[in-house]
């Protein structure tokens, strides 16, 4: 605790004076009863002091002692402490809060009020520890401005703003927060106020710990909710992408391979008719058939390459990426030193993420040099695609569907992906995918 700390016995001067004053008042009242009844009343009626009047005075004192003592005690407490509650009432109210097991952050406002009003401080603030930060949680009286959180170094309290006196709040041996107070200008801290502040700190530790657990739980639930929403949105994007890809394949097959096959059937009928009637013409038709068959095979190969390249299945990610060099207007380098084969779903996710990044580089930075790096780092297969193009400002560019596809593919396996770029510094797409199995893919 910074600032002055109380010394000497626990009983403070105001408490001793109040008890002494109560005893004096009660002594005067009891003496007055004995003087007035046996002596005064006895002399008035001519009986003089006698046993009957003494017994009556004793009975009257016994009957009236309790009510008179309570009334005198209340008036003395009001005289000593003013309108604020006594330290015992303060601790009783705080105990009620603790026994209520309230975990709402609003309970900290009640703790701040109890500290300020119960000890007569001008203001009080409760600080709550979250991880390595000490954040202002509540103040009394309520203030419009809130100070910034303070960074903790171990369990040592840093200097806190607007604090004349700082008291650490512990739960067991763990620092869970702090209480800071200010006193009115020119008014010293009394031993009673300091002792009450110490007494409040013990039960307040349980309150702060419960509130901290509730706050942390709420933060985790919010993170889980956000993650769940992202997973749901990702699944929706995956379904939409699959539907769009299916429609594209249907269109490509209809407009490409299917038209070639229809033309092939027509030419076969013509050739069959010309074989006997016009052999020379049949030879020419046969040559056309070879051309149509070659075009059909090329179309089917292009479709297969877009769905899942055979070279990816046969030779892995690096070989499939190198196979792109002949089809792109860029200089492509693939570095895969020390990378082994992995399960098909992992290789497919990495390949298509790299493919999207390479195609984007060819589209937005034609003629540039693109370097693809693949490596194994611990339980992850990491990858990066970097070009030396013009780059862009990610904060001012809205991610397209391609970026969403990459994130969804990698995220579906528990991986992550990041895009780094700046004007004039090129672009890098980097990510990682966890490796569920280390054995070589079949």
Distances (CA, A) of 107 to 35, 141, 203, 220, 312: 54, 14, 13, 21, 61
Q: What are phi and psi of 187, to 5 degrees?
A: -105, 120
For the four alpha carbons of 98, 100, 104 and 110, in that order, the dihedral sign comes to: negative
Cα(64)–Cα(69) distance, integer angstroms: 8
Over residues 215-243, the mean pLDDT reads: 75
Cα(171)–Cα(321) distance, integer angstroms: 58
Cα(414)–Cα(432) distance, integer angstroms: 9
**pLDDT, tens digit, 9 for 90 and up, residues 82-100:** 555 555 565 566 666 555 5
**pLDDT, tens digit, 9 for 90 and up, residues 166-215:** 888 888 888 888 988 888 777 777 777 777 778 777 778 888 888 888 88
Cα(428)–Cα(340) distance, integer angstroms: 23
The yes-or-no verdict on residue 73 having pLDDT over 50 is yes
- What pLDDT sits at residue 81? 53
**pLDDT, tens digit, 9 for 90 and up, residues 23-38:** 777 777 777 766 666 6
- What pLDDT sits at residue 185? 78
Evaluate whether 412 touches 422 at the Cβ level (below 8 Å): no
What are the b/e assignments for 121-152, b being 16+ CB within 10 Å?
Answer: bebbbbbbbbeeebbbbbbbeeeeeebeebeb
Binning pLDDT at 50, 70 and 90, where does residue 375 land?
Answer: very high
> What are the structure tokens assigned to 441, written together?
């893919």
Closest alpha carbon to 344 in 377, 362, 320, 370: 320
Instruction: Say which residue the tokens 């008042």 belong to.
Output: 25
The yes-or-no verdict on residue 13 having pLDDT over 60 is no
> What are the structure tokens assigned to 94, written together?
């705080």
Report which secondary-structure segment, H or E, holds 386: strand 380-387
Over residues 129-147, the mean pLDDT reads: 85
Q: What are phi and psi of 145, to 5 degrees?
A: -100, 140
Distances (CA, A) of 397 to 250, 294, 391, 424: 32, 43, 11, 15
Q: What are phi and psi of 392, to 5 degrees?
A: -160, 175
For the four alpha carbons of 345, 351, 352 and 353, in that order, the dihedral sign comes to: positive
Q: Where are the alpha helices (DSSP H) in 82-101?
A: 87-99
E strands, 111-253, in order: 123-130, 133-140, 150-151, 165-171, 174-182
Report which secondary-structure segment, H or E, holds 421: strand 416-421
- What pLDDT sits at residue 42? 61
Evaluate whether 180 touches 139 at the Cβ level (below 8 Å): no
The yes-or-no verdict on residue 10 having pLDDT over 60 is no
Span between the terminal Cα atoms of the chain, in Å = 67
Could you state, in order of their start, the residue ranges of all structural domains in the chain? Answer: 13-81, 87-219, 236-307, 310-434
Instruction: Say which residue the tokens 């990510």 belong to.
Output: 431
Cα(287)–Cα(183) distance, integer angstroms: 104
Q: Where are the alpha helices (DSSP H) in 35-134?
A: 42-45, 51-81, 87-99, 107-119
Binning pLDDT at 50, 70 and 90, where does residue 6 land?
Answer: very low
* Mean pLDDT of the residues in the chain: 75
> What are the structure tokens assigned to 275, written together?
């074989």
CATH T-level topology, domain 310-434: Heat Shock Protein 90 (3.30.565)
The yes-or-no verdict on residue 432 having pLDDT over 90 is yes
Cis amide leading into 204 (omega within 30): no
Binning pLDDT at 50, 70 and 90, where does residue 8 land?
Answer: very low
- What pLDDT sits at residue 46? 58
Q: Where are the alpha helices (DSSP H) in 168-190?
A: none
> Under CATH, which architecture does the 87-219 domain have?
2-Layer Sandwich (3.30)
Binning pLDDT at 50, 70 and 90, where does residue 287 land?
Answer: confident
Beta bridge partners of 123: 182
- What pLDDT sits at residue 334? 92
């Amino acid at each position: 605790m910074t600032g002055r700390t109380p010394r000497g016995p626990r009983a403070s001067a105001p408490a001793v004076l109040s008890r002494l004053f109560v005893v004096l008042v009660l002594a005067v009242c009891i003496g007055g009863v004995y003087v007035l009844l046996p002596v005064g009343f006895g002399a008035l009626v001519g009986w003089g002091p006698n046993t009957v009047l003494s017994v009556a005075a004793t009975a009257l004192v016994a009957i009236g002692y309790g009510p008179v003592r309570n009334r005198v005690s209340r008036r003395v407490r009001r005289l000593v402490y003013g309108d604020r509650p006594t330290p015992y009432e303060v601790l009783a109210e705080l105990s009620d809060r603790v026994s209520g097991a309230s975990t709402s952050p609003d309970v900290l406002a009640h703790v701040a009020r109890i500290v300020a009003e119960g000890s007569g401080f001008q203001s009080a603030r409760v600080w709550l520890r979250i991880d390595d930060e000490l954040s202002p949680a509540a103040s009394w009286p309520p203030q419009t401005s809130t100070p910034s959180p303070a960074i903790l170094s171990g369990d040592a309290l840093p200097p806190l703003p607007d604090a004349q006196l700082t008291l650490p709040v512990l739960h067991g041996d763990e620092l869970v927060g702090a209480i800071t107070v200010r006193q009115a200008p020119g008014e010293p801290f009394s031993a009673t106020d300091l002792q009450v502040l110490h007494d409040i700190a013990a039960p307040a530790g349980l309150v702060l710990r419960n509130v901290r657990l509730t706050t942390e739980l709420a933060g985790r639930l919010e993170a889980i909710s956000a993650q769940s929403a992202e997973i749901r949105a990702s699944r929706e994007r995956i379904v939409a992408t699959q539907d769009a890809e299916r429609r594209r394949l249907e269109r490509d097959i209809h407009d490409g391979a299917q038209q070639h096959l229809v033309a092939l059937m027509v030419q076969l009928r013509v050739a069959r008719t010309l074989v006997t009637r016009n052999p020379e013409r049949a030879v020419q038709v046969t040559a056309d058939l070879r051309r149509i068959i070659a075009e059909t095979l090329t179309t089917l190969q292009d479709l297969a390459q877009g769905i899942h390249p055979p070279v990816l299945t046969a030779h892995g990610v690096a070989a499939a990426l190198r196979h792109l060099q002949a089809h792109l207007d860029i200089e492509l380098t693939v570095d895969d030193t020390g990378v082994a084969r992995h399960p098909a779903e992992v290789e497919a996710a990495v390949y298509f993420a790299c493919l999207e990044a390479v195609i984007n580089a060819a589209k937005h930075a034609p003629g540039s040099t693109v370097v693809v790096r693949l490596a194994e780092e611990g339980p992850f297969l990491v990858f990066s695609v970097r070009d030396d193009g013009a780059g862009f400002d990610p904060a001012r560019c809205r991610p397209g569907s391609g970026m969403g596809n990459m994130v969804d593919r990698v995220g579906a396996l528990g991986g992550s992906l990041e895009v780094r770029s700046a004007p004039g510094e090129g672009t890098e797409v980097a990510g990682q995918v966890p490796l569920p199995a280390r054995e070589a893919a079949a």
